[in-house]
Structure 1
Amino acid sequence: MSQSNTQQNLAAWKTVCSEQDLVSNSGVVVWFEGAQVALFYLPEAQGRSLYAIDNHDPQSGANVIGRGLIGNIKGEMVVASPIYKQHFRLEDGHCLESSQQRLRVWPVRLNSGMVELGLD
């Protein structure tokens, strides 16, 4: 694949908030392209420190994932839904208790003090 084709396949980025809006080791929710997105900022985590995942809990139907508890299960960073306590991996949105449940995830990055989400 040529370099120009690779550049065309890269996601465009859209600013959703500033880094100052994030809460360490917790979630905040932003509105992005018609969806509520929960941002989790884990500044002391090994490797990746920022995640963007759907705020909508598929089991309860409530928009509560951003209020979930962050944890580590078998080396995987997860968020526990505050209603039924199912665990979703922050990396890919998969539910540990039910393989049929999955939350959408977005590419996310910090860029000059701003939080940006990738557009498909």
Structure 2
Amino acid sequence: MQANRWTPICALDDIVPNTGVCALVGDEQVAVFHVGGDTPQRVYAIGNYDPNSDAAVLSRGLVGSLGDRIVVASPIYKQHFDLATGECLEAPANSVHAYAAKVEGGKVWVLA
């Protein structure tokens, strides 16, 4: 089994603030989000596959907040996924994996 390692995804400027992109990390589709436009830059990464709709679409969802939680709303059935934890707020049994993500040297990195 291969140990986790940091993988470069793209330049932070390649992701429009408050949107996401999909990246292939190993053999997994990962939804990577750039939240806000102010410093410090915040990035999040969760699995791109939405088990509620059986489609790989979370990177195309709408970013927002519910209370103190930063979430993405799936573009199909609108369930909300916490970007920090991957928890599906409406159906916790359908939560997705959350990955560590960081900005370093102007690039977005994901630990997978």
TM alignment of 1:29-108, pairs within 5 A: 29-44=22-37, 49-108=42-101
**Unmatched tracts of structure 2, length 5 or more:** none
Per the alignment, residue 7 of structure 1 pairs with none
**Residues 99/31 of structure 1: CA separation in 2 closer, same or farther (3 Å cut):** same
How many residues of Structure 1 are paired with residues of Structure 2 in the alignment?
Answer: 110
**Unmatched tracts of structure 1, length 5 or more:** 1-10
Q: What is the TM-score with the length of structure 2 in the denominator?
A: 0.88
Of 94, 97, 111, the residue aligned with 2:104 is 111
Deviations 1:17-45 (A, max 9, x none): 12232111111111101111111101347
Q: What is the TM-score with the length of structure 1 in the denominator?
A: 0.83
Flag the structure with higher strand content: 2
**Residues 61/45 of structure 1: CA separation in 2 closer, same or farther (3 Å cut):** farther
Determine what percentage of the aligned residue pairs are the same residue: 39
Deviations 1:48-81 (A, max 9, x none): 7110011101011111101101111011001000
Cα distance in 2, alignment partners of residues 100 and 45 from structure 1: 34
Question: Stretches of 4+ moved more than 3 A in 1?
Answer: 44-48
Amino acid across the alignment from 1:31: L
Deviation, structure 1 residue 46: 8.8
Root-mean-square deviation (CA, aligned residues, Å) is 2.0
